[in-house]
Structure 1
Amino acid sequence: MQPAPLHPDVATATPPLPKARQQARLTAGLVATVVFLTAIAPLATDMYVPAFPQVAGELSTTATQVQLTLTTFFVGMALGQLIGGPVSDQRGRRFPLLAALLVTTAAAIVCALAPTIAVMTTARFVQGFAGGWAMVIGRAIIVDLARGAQLVRVLNIIAGVGGLAPIVGPLLGGLILQLSHWRFSFWLVAVLGFAMTLAVLVAVPESLPSERRHTGGLRNFVAAGRTVLANRAYVGYLVVAGAAMGALFAYVATSAFVLQTMNGLSPFAYSIDFAVNATGMTAAALVSARLAGHVSTRKLILTGQLAALAAGVAMLAGALWLGTPLLLAIVCFFVLMTAQGLTIPNGGALASAAVPKHPGTGSAVQGFVQWVAAGTVAPIAGLGGEHTAVPMATLITAGAATSMIGLLALTRPSSDHPSSPIGTGP
């Protein structure tokens, strides 16, 4: 799972800081802290995904209700990113960031102690909101302190290291289930949240002094949002990435039931498979980055969409007529995840290229749409219960098809920017 877009509009519009001041404040400790901030959301999700069947059993609930905890988390993430950026533009970065981390930590403790699925669902929403708030402020701090090539290098480091979280998370979650109880994963998230709070206190200064803070906040953000949503190319690539995100999280929400409950994999074996699939997605994204400027980005997106659609159709056929055999599920899941490594990052890049005057607003709206899509799809994918993959496979197929429609019907090659370094073209 790729990290969500953030909201740096105001920071990118401010005049450059003196070089000496940048070097004095943009420290390795600060960058490492922001890396941890970007990792908290995938860790908070992926560590307990292998435990879905155990959570359903212990809390006496259904697969759909357990998957609803993903929905509330993702909706919280979307709202946290959408609101946190403008608020920090007004109030500064450090205090809102510390508050968000403390709330994230407290919500993890509530999840660890949750006596019912209702309590856990509510706590997951709060955890997602605070986590999204922290992520958007972390990115804004980097944009405050870096410019030009330095900014690109630091953001690439953050994205590259942060991309390990979806790989490590499920493995760690599976190991926890082997040695302890699923609730321990939330205690671990709480410890990490507390550690990040201390790291911010030590390593992260206030990066937005009062004279550079922005008035207008959410009101200005709404006006800019209307502008970007009037851009047809932007909306088309928003559909490309948002629909692909929905297909991806149909897999995330239900794969534990498909592979463990229906096919008998152990939690640890499932975690290994999940990590392998996340590795495929990360590798595809890295290959795509290497091809930028040499191969059309639209062609890379279309390749990913065709592969995802083929995986969805094969999975649906297997669910309807073959009883979802293990080998078919494993292969289809790997193809799907790898394909989304071509589709989601590139779709987001072309969406941003379509609205160059509003980079932060465009990124914030992207993050909102993608996480809402993820949260909406997660419970729907589990409507059939723990013993059928038909709803999940249907959603994967529909998501891939919708993503392709966004590319072919709403965008045109001429709407891209051939002179940009992201490799667009015919």
Structure 2
Amino acid sequence: MNRPASQVRAQLTVGLVATVVFVAAIAPLATDMYVPAFPQVADDLSSTATQVQLTLTTFFVGMALGQLIGGPVSDQRGRRIPLLAALLAMTVASIVCALAPTITVMAVARLVQGFAGGWAMVIGRAIIVDLASGARLVRVVNVIAAVGGIAPVVGPLVGGLILQLSHWRVSFWLVAVLGLAMTLAALVAVPESLPRERRHAGGLRNFAAAGRIVLANREYVGYLLVTGAAMGALFAYVATSAFVLQTMNGLSPAAYSIDFAANAAGMTVAALIAARLAGRVATRKLILTGQLAALTAGIAMLTGALWFGTPLLLAISCFFVLMTAQGLIIPNGSALASAAVRHHPGTGSALQGFVHWVTAGTIAPIAGLGGEHTAVPMAALITLGAAVSLTGRQLATSQRH
């Protein structure tokens, strides 16, 4: 009698999906609200720009590790309790960030904040995989990505507004309040979605065994490559677009913010369109459409950077096409990767999150190696990312023939 009861409780409700969206937004919010305050943080904590930048790196490292570990633990212990614990830990870490007296304390607190946030995000994805499949899974993942895409637009605007009206520490108090709100939302809206009879034994050895099973799945690995490479292209843009548009082309900060928001909106609209088309158009075709668009944008951008000085109109157009394409690639690729390893959703989600955030933390500094006055490294990484993503799709679909 226990199994039917658990299935009745664990339904994919609007409240549950909204809570997962809320959790998924924490990374861009915790990052983008903070980035505009870097100069003030350096002054207040008597640190260098490099040391402040390190607090962003520790956050990304924490995100990657949190997702790698949180997924398998939730496969063993269930989803609800680990999720609540992670949200509370993230709230406490955010408070420590708000009170940090030194840059060292800030860096450590950001590591914990990222770890707990990554832990919560991977469990949120696993819950969706527990409760949805097929076209419904693709639709829900795209909706989550589309609504979550608002966060990168809102984050910098809120952060900038906070700096205008108050102090940079307020942004961390806001994240702490949001963490507490997420905890309450999870208490109310998120049931246990993984019954005891479907849980896997824990321990490092069993996690390694589950990881080997997941990574032995060619379709999963292919779509992991699809999304990981697309994330690389995306973060090459995020890391350098301000230099390309402002330093090289003279765009004002306000105009850049508008363009950044428009690109994020393009990504959101693309994900919403993909959600509407789920079950009508093959998801693999939507991914291919996005990949070809991203590759075209990368090649055009690289051509302009090498021979034409990266003209403004070309850069704006390529960035918009690239970001819109990611709305077709990343959510759909993630959904198909999760669907390929339904027996190990936590481990599958953990490896996805780990690869995505390691890629983000690695690509961002590489894209800026050429300095503030060339777009060649960034354009080359975008083109390479699109090409590798296409290779991943070929790997994922080759076993069908």
The answer to whether TM tops 0.5 is: yes
Residue 26 of structure 2: aligned partner: 40
- Kept in 2, the 8 Å contact 1:16–1:147? The answer is no
Amino acid at match of 1:104: M
Q: Are 1:237 and 2:237 counterparts? A: no
Which residue, out of 270, 275, 279, partners 2:256?
270
Structure 1 residues 65 and 89: alpha-carbon distance in aligned structure 2, compared to 1, 3 A threshold: same
**Take 2:15 and 2:285, find their aligned partners in 1: how far apart are those partners?**
39
After TM superposition, list the pairs within 5 Å mapping 1:195-344 onto structure 2. Answer: 195-200=181-186, 214-344=200-330
**Take 1:382 and 1:56, find their aligned partners in 2: how far apart are those partners?**
21
Q: Which runs of 5+ in 2 are unaligned?
A: none
**Take 2:120 and 2:56, find their aligned partners in 1: how far apart are those partners?**
18
**Take 1:55 and 1:256, find their aligned partners in 2: how far apart are those partners?**
20
Shift of 1:343: 1.7
**Take 1:382 and 1:368, find their aligned partners in 2: how far apart are those partners?**
22
Residue 70 of structure 2: aligned partner: 84
Structure 1 residues 122 and 236: alpha-carbon distance in aligned structure 2, compared to 1, 3 A threshold: same
Amino acid at match of 2:114: G
Amino acid at match of 2:232: G
Amino acid at match of 2:22: F
Task: Tell which deviates more after alignment, 227-236 or 104-113.
Answer: 104-113
Residue 17 of structure 1: aligned partner: 5
Residue 393 of structure 2: aligned partner: 407
Shift of 1:106: 3.5
Aligned pairs, how many?
Answer: 398
Structure 1 residues 67 and 334: alpha-carbon distance in aligned structure 2, compared to 1, 3 A threshold: farther
Q: Are 1:383 and 2:369 counterparts? A: yes
Instruction: Tell me the C-alpha RMSD between the 2 structures.
Output: 3.7
Q: Deviations over 1:300-348 (max 9, x none)?
A: 3232222212222332333344443433322221111011112222322
Structure 1 residues 143 and 311: alpha-carbon distance in aligned structure 2, compared to 1, 3 A threshold: closer
Amino acid at match of 2:174: L
**Take 2:10 and 2:77, find their aligned partners in 1: how far apart are those partners?**
21
Shift of 1:81: 1.7
Structure 1 residues 386 and 49: alpha-carbon distance in aligned structure 2, compared to 1, 3 A threshold: farther
Shift of 1:370: 1.7
Structure 1 residues 319 and 113: alpha-carbon distance in aligned structure 2, compared to 1, 3 A threshold: farther
**Take 2:312 and 2:54, find their aligned partners in 1: how far apart are those partners?**
25
**Take 1:33 and 1:48, find their aligned partners in 2: how far apart are those partners?**
23
**Take 1:354 and 1:310, find their aligned partners in 2: how far apart are those partners?**
29
Q: What's the secondary structure of 1:286's corresponding residue?
A: helix
Amino acid at match of 1:316: L
- Kept in 1, the 8 Å contact 2:126–2:349? The answer is no
Q: Deviations over 1:10-32 (max 9, x none)?
A: xxxx9443666457xx8776654
**Take 1:319 and 1:197, find their aligned partners in 2: how far apart are those partners?**
46
Q: Which runs of 5+ in 1 are unaligned?
A: 1-13, 417-426
Structure 1 residues 345 and 98: alpha-carbon distance in aligned structure 2, compared to 1, 3 A threshold: closer
Amino acid at match of 2:260: F
Amino acid at match of 2:5: L
Task: Tell which deviates more after alignment, 173-182 or 209-218.
Answer: 209-218
- Kept in 2, the 8 Å contact 1:68–1:379? The answer is no
After TM superposition, list the pairs within 5 Å mapping 1:104-123 onto structure 2. Answer: 104-112=90-98, 120-123=106-109
**Take 2:153 and 2:162, find their aligned partners in 1: how far apart are those partners?**
15
Amino acid at match of 1:347: G
**Take 1:372 and 1:342, find their aligned partners in 2: how far apart are those partners?**
21
Q: Deviations over 1:254-293 (max 9, x none)?
A: 2233334444444443333222111111211222233344
Q: Deviations over 1:225-265 (max 9, x none)?
A: 11221233332222111111111111122223333444444
Structure 1 residues 161 and 212: alpha-carbon distance in aligned structure 2, compared to 1, 3 A threshold: same
Task: Give the TM-score normalised by the residue count of structure 2.
Answer: 0.81
- Kept in 2, the 8 Å contact 1:258–1:389? The answer is yes
Which residue, out of 142, 154, 157, partners 1:168?
154
- Taking every aligned residue pair, what percent have the same amino acid on both sides? 80
Task: Give the TM-score normalised by the residue count of structure 1.
Answer: 0.77
Amino acid at match of 2:269: A
Structure 1 residues 295 and 34: alpha-carbon distance in aligned structure 2, compared to 1, 3 A threshold: closer
Task: Tell which deviates more after alignment, 241-250 or 348-357.
Answer: 348-357
Structure 1 residues 248 and 44: alpha-carbon distance in aligned structure 2, compared to 1, 3 A threshold: same
**Take 2:393 and 2:125, find their aligned partners in 1: how far apart are those partners?**
28
**Take 1:397 and 1:97, find their aligned partners in 2: how far apart are those partners?**
37
**Take 1:30 and 1:251, find their aligned partners in 2: how far apart are those partners?**
32
Structure 1 residues 415 and 46: alpha-carbon distance in aligned structure 2, compared to 1, 3 A threshold: farther
Q: Deviations over 1:169-217 (max 9, x none)?
A: 2332343345455544333222322333444556667777878865335
Structure 1 residues 387 and 190: alpha-carbon distance in aligned structure 2, compared to 1, 3 A threshold: farther
Structure 1 residues 199 and 84: alpha-carbon distance in aligned structure 2, compared to 1, 3 A threshold: same
Q: Deviations over 1:43-78 (max 9, x none)?
A: 11233345567767887645x766654443233222
Amino acid at match of 1:17: A
Structure 1 residues 18 and 133: alpha-carbon distance in aligned structure 2, compared to 1, 3 A threshold: closer
- Kept in 1, the 8 Å contact 2:145–2:268? The answer is no
